[in-house]
Chains A and B, each alone.
Chain A
């Protein structure tokens, strides 16, 4: 049993750390494929990368239902840490989640199981926060879309391997869709629903 006193701490400076983290995520979302660093550090429970922890402390609260993948949900440390620091309710039904935290990308459920928004309110969709192995090495992906001047190249080692094939549902669903934030340690890359990805192979 972990007591609250033993939980990893949150941000040392809540206000400025949240601001700095948000700007990194906002810049990542505005410029898909570009790698942004999250500078502020906080404690993080075991299965959670420090970038994920900073995003949680910055964006989650009682208004944002969370869905955790099996590996996250199994860790009582993660659940307690999120509850103590953010107060966000953890839900079993992924289709009502504002955010989904995925630590085991290989077991990512079908994207249709998350909230995709409605035609009238496409913003009411789940943002996936997917922890990946690396955002500076691995397979190359060519990205196009709003926020990208021509073509952006992302080198990343991502599970599930077919993530970008799965994300092609965004093309037909738009303006509904899924926005993804990839996290590798303190690096973040955002793939909003407008980004079109071409796999360049190795």
Chain B
């Protein structure tokens, strides 16, 4: 018995056909959530079972796969999914954004601009942007059918009434191709402008909620807002402490229990690339590495 115990890219062929048909319809109706028969995957819900199924359905032996979790290639979720496909599909993996043909992501869009030969696959927890406003699926489905999105504007308006600005910072609703309001998954709203007119195909998979949706390349994606309260991406007002980037999305990292903290790029590949190119921030790791080398070499 040397035969592998599972199919190429884990999923069986009937499941792949079903997912592939859903992907084609999702591309044909941008922003519409296509129901699909999501399978149990060898990982818990919330760990990217939807994204993994979409990746498994499109992945081929010539693909180069990158997986990120909140921008990082090095977190448990990203590493385990990358290893999962390296093992079940034998595909090449990379952490370099520009080298990847398929990028699976949880909650970030890479800082490096995507190109036309790439597919970006999002892991989505709650695909329905109206779900927290209207719990009934029958009702949200009718609201999408009628393009009745007033409730979402009321929600954004309530933000303004209470906080003076639109306080929604992630999973910020967008309108795709001037028709469907869509949840971009819990990406920071900083990333929303990257979805608009993107050269890469964007696919979204929600495993527990059993939905697949898509944004074709070069498609208009508009963040909802008001004329007097226009959409504004949010970013901590600081340079990256490691690579001094002024325009990347930053994570806040608490460094001690005395209020110390540092801001670093959430996109580790982007940050490492900038450091390799000679950019150094205020807390750059480079001097410590040099000190360590000096110590090692006497």
Docked complex: B131-167 residues within 8 A CB-CB of A: 141-142, 144-146
Instruction: Tell me whether A26 and B27 are in contact (CB under 8 A).
Output: yes
B-side residues, CB < 8 A to A, are 7-9, 13-14, 16-18, 20-30, 32, 34-35, 57-61, 141-142, 144-146, 177, 179-180, 199, 201, 215-220
* Given A15-B7, A16-B60, A192-B28, A149:B20 Cβ within 8 A: no
**Mostly helix, strand, loop or mixed at chain A's interface?**
loop
Residue A163 interfacial (CB < 8 Å): no
* Given A149-B199, A194-B177, A30:B27 Cβ within 8 A: yes
Which of A118, A119, A177, A192 lies in contact with B146, CB distance below 8 A? Answer: A119
Binary flags per residue of A146-157, CB closer than 8 Å to B gives 1, else 0: 111110000000
Instruction: Tell me whether A147 and B217 are in contact (CB under 8 A).
Output: yes
Residue A19 interfacial (CB < 8 Å): yes
Instruction: Tell me whether B20 and A26 are in contact (CB under 8 A).
Output: yes
Residue A18 interfacial (CB < 8 Å): yes
> Can you list 24 A-B contacts (CB < 8 A)?
A18-B17, A22-B58, A26-B23, A26-B27, A26-B58, A29-B24, A30-B201, A30-B216, A119-B146, A121-B141, A122-B32, A123-B32, A146-B30, A146-B217, A146-B218, A147-B27, A147-B216, A147-B218, A147-B219, A148-B218, A150-B218, A179-B24, A193-B28, A193-B29
Instruction: Tell me whether B32 and A120 are in contact (CB under 8 A).
Output: no
Instruction: Tell me whether A175 and B29 are in contact (CB under 8 A).
Output: yes
Point out the residues of chain B lying under 8 angstroms from A23, CB to CB: 58, 60
Assembled-state Cα–Cα distance A121/B22 (Å): 12
Binary flags per residue of A1-45, CB closer than 8 Å to B gives 1, else 0: 000000000000011101110110110011100000000000000
Binary flags per residue of A33-63, CB closer than 8 Å to B gives 1, else 0: 0000000000000000000000000111101
Which of B16, B24, B59, B219 lies in contact with A146, CB distance below 8 A? Answer: B219
* Given A26-B24, A123-B32, A63:B177 Cβ within 8 A: no
Point out the residues of chain A lying under 8 angstroms from B30, CB to CB: 146, 194
Shortest CB distance A35–B (Å): 15
Q: Known contacts A59-B24, A63-B18; can you find 16 more A-B pairs with CB under 8 A?
A: A16-B61, A18-B13, A18-B17, A19-B9, A23-B60, A26-B20, A26-B27, A30-B27, A58-B17, A59-B21, A61-B14, A98-B21, A122-B32, A175-B29, A175-B179, A192-B27
Shortest CB distance B251–A (Å): 32
Assembled-state Cα–Cα distance A14/B17 (Å): 12
Q: Using CB atoms, name the residue of chain A closest to B26.
A: A123
Instruction: Tell me whether A149 and B217 are in contact (CB under 8 A).
Output: yes
Point out the residues of chain A lying under 8 angstroms from B201, CB to CB: 26, 30
Assembled-state Cα–Cα distance A2/B255 (Å): 75
Point out the residues of chain A lying under 8 angstroms from B141, CB to CB: 120-121
